[in-house]
Amino acid sequence: MLPSSHIADVEKSIRYAHESDRRIVFTRFDASLEGDHRDHAISYDHGTWTCDCEGHEQNGTCSHTMTLERVLRDMVQMELVGERVPALTGA
Ligand SMILES: [Zn+2]
């Protein structure tokens, strides 16, 4: 039988996961995105995105980092202004 503290941790993790948009903020990570033509290496560090594609090098943004922003939403800072977009924070 599982200890009651473990059961409480599992229950809390379920609640936290349901509230992930406001409880979790990524600070840095690396990711791979399967593009139509090849895979792309993406990094995120405190609001700054990098991608190994030509578009990101030229424009400072690309469809690959935009995709991760869409998927992670409030869990990352938005690239456009380097901080959370007011509409998303209710400010
Ligand atoms: Zn890219």
**pLDDT, tens digit, for every residue of 53-64?**
999 999 999 999
Its pTM stands at: 0.75
Q: How far is the CA of 10 from the centre of ligand 1 (A)?
A: 37
What's residue 21's pLDDT? 86
What's residue 78's pLDDT? 63
Q: How far is the CA of 70 from the centre of ligand 1 (A)?
A: 14
Answer yes or no: are the C-beta atoms of 42 and 51 closer than 8 Å: yes
Tell me how far the alpha carbon of residue 36 is from its chain's centroid. Answer: 21
Q: How far is the CA of 12 from the centre of ligand 1 (A)?
A: 36
Q: How far is the CA of 46 from the centre of ligand 1 (A)?
A: 18
Q: Which residues of the chain have pLDDT under 50?
A: 81-91
What's residue 2's pLDDT? 81
